[in-house]
Amino acid sequence: MAVYVKKWMKTRHAIMFRLSNKIVQVNFTDKTEVILSSENKLVTYVNKKGERSHYPLATALDSNNAEMAKRLKYTKEILTHMLNNNAQGAQNGEKEGDQPHGIDLFL
């Protein structure tokens, strides 16, 4: 089955994609990336040099990698904002659409 973008949001510092395969990818303006996989419970961080590192989702914020932790916190803020907007739309009678699967693991 083809993977496609279900939702996206652009901010001053990044662009976030929620994909149909339950992955959330955040591309930051400084060329770093955070990729969240709820199925594998894994965070992948790509630094400015393009080097990838992987962390368990449950302990990623406690990592010694301060740059990754900072971007992961920002990602959490973006996801929270997106989920709050979805909830407000549903309260106003708008169709909520496909609710994110596993996103609560990231909050």
CATH number of the domain at 37, please: 3.30.1120.30
Task: Say how many domains are in the chain.
Answer: 1
pLDDT of residue 101: 39
78 pLDDT band (50/70/90 cuts)? confident
Measured distance CA(91)–CA(41) in Å, rounded: 30
pLDDT band at 94 (very low <50, low <70, confident <90, very high): very low
Give the Cβ contact number of residue 103 at 10 Å: 18
Q: Which domain holds residue 12?
A: 5-106
Q: What is the pTM of this model?
A: 0.77
Integer Cα distance of 15 and 28 in angstroms: 6
Contacts with 48 (C-beta within 8 Å, 6 or more apart), sequence order:
30, 31, 32
Nearest CA to 48 out of 28, 25, 63 is that of 28
